[in-house]
Structure 1
Amino acid sequence: MKRPGTRHKARKRAVDLLFEAEAKKVSPAQLVSERREYVRDDESVGTIHDYTAVVIDGLSADQAQIDAVVSSHLRDWTLPRLPAVDRAILRLATWELFNSVDVDPVVIVDEAVELAKELSTDDSPAFVNGVLARIADLAPQVRAAHGAVAGGRDADGASTD
C-alpha cells in the first residue's frame, strides 16, 4: 500500500475543516485563520498546509457556484441530504477540478474517491466517483475560461491590454 502524499494529506485536512466549519456554522476560511493563530502558541494544533489554505480560501470565495454545480449533477439527491463528509469531498474536488490546473482531473477524482473510502460510508466512493465523473466533463471548459480571463491580467489582476 502506498503512503499518502502531501497533497492527499492537505486535501484530507481541507475536508476535515469543511466538515467542522459546517457543523459549527462558521466560515472554513475563519477556521484556517484561527488554526494558524493557535499553532503559534500550541504546535499540537498542527500547521495548515499551504495547499489546504488555498483550497479553503478558493472554496470560501466560490462556494455558491460550487454548490450549484454539484447540485446540478446529483441524481435523486439534494446537496443538503448528502452526508456532510460527502458534501465536503464533492465541494473540494469540484473546486479542484475547476481551479487546480496543475493536477490532472483523473487524479482529482481518484483522490476524492480515496477520501470517501477513508472517511465516509461504504456506498460513498462509488457515489462520489459518479458525480465527479459528470462534473469532470466540464473541467476543460472551465479551466480554459479561467485561463482566458487570467491571460489578459497581470499578477495584481490589472488588464495588460
Structure 2
Amino acid sequence: MSQARTNARKAAVQALYQWQMTGQNLTEIEVQFHEEDRLKDSQKSYFAELFHGVPEHLDTIDKALTEFVDRPVDMIDPVERAILRLSVYELQHRLDMPYRVVLNEGINLAKLFGADGSHKYVNGILDKIAQQNRAVEIKMKAAAK
C-alpha cells in the first residue's frame, strides 16, 4: 500500500469535511490545499480523483450508505460521513483497489480523525457495503483460502 495514496486519502477526507461543512466551491478548496502545501507527500492525482469523485457521485454513494446506516446520512458525524463517502466511492469506482485495502484505510482514517470508537461504526458499515458491491471479489478470496 502506497504511503502517497494513504496521504492522498487523509487530505481528501479533510477537504471533503471542509466542503460538507462550508459548501465552499471544490476548486477553491483544492487550490487552498495546494497553496498551504497540505498535499505534500500525497499522490496529488489520487487526491483530486477522490475529492471530485465523491461530490460527482454523491447520490449513488449516499444511496448505498442509506441502506446500512441507522440514521439519515446528513445526521452522521461529519468526520465519519466524509470517511464513509470516500471509502464507498473507492468500493464503487476503484475496482482495482482490493476491498480489504479500502476497509483498512477507512478504519485507519476513522481512528486518526474520528471520535473514540468511530472506527467500529465505519468498519461495520463498510463491511456491509463491500459485501454488496464486491461480492464476487470476496467469494474469490474466500475460495482461494
TM-score computed with the length of structure 1 as normaliser:
0.74
1:7-156 alignment runs, 5 A limit: 7-32=5-30, 34-35=31-32, 39=35, 44-47=36-39, 49-74=44-69, 76-140=70-134
Q: Say whether the 8 Å CA contact 2:50–2:86 is kept in structure 1.
A: yes
Deviation string 1:14-61 (CA, Å, 9 cap, x unpaired) is 0000001111112435522x337x63xxxx434471101011121121
- In structure 2, the CA distance between the partners of 1:30 and 1:113, relative to structure 1 (3 Å rule), is same
- In structure 2, the CA distance between the partners of 1:50 and 1:124, relative to structure 1 (3 Å rule), is same
Structure 1 runs of 4+ with >4 Å offset: none
| Displacement after TM superposition at 1:122 (Å) | 1.2
Query: RCO greater where, 1 or 2, for CA within 8 Å and sep 6 or more?
Result: 2
Task: Structure 1 unaligned segments of length 5 or more: list them.
Answer: 144-161
RMSD after superposition: 2.3
Residue 121 of structure 1 aligns to a residue whose secondary structure is coil
- In structure 2, the CA distance between the partners of 1:142 and 1:57, relative to structure 1 (3 Å rule), is farther
Q: Which moved more, 1:23-32 or 1:77-86?
A: 23-32
Q: Say whether the 8 Å CA contact 2:62–2:85 is kept in structure 1.
A: yes
Q: Say whether the 8 Å CA contact 2:83–2:106 is kept in structure 1.
A: yes
- Figure out how many residues of one structure are paired with residues of the other and give that number: 133
Q: Say whether the 8 Å CA contact 2:91–2:102 is kept in structure 1.
A: yes
Rg larger for: 1
Task: Structure 2 unaligned segments of length 5 or more: list them.
Answer: 138-145
Matched AA of 1:35:
Q
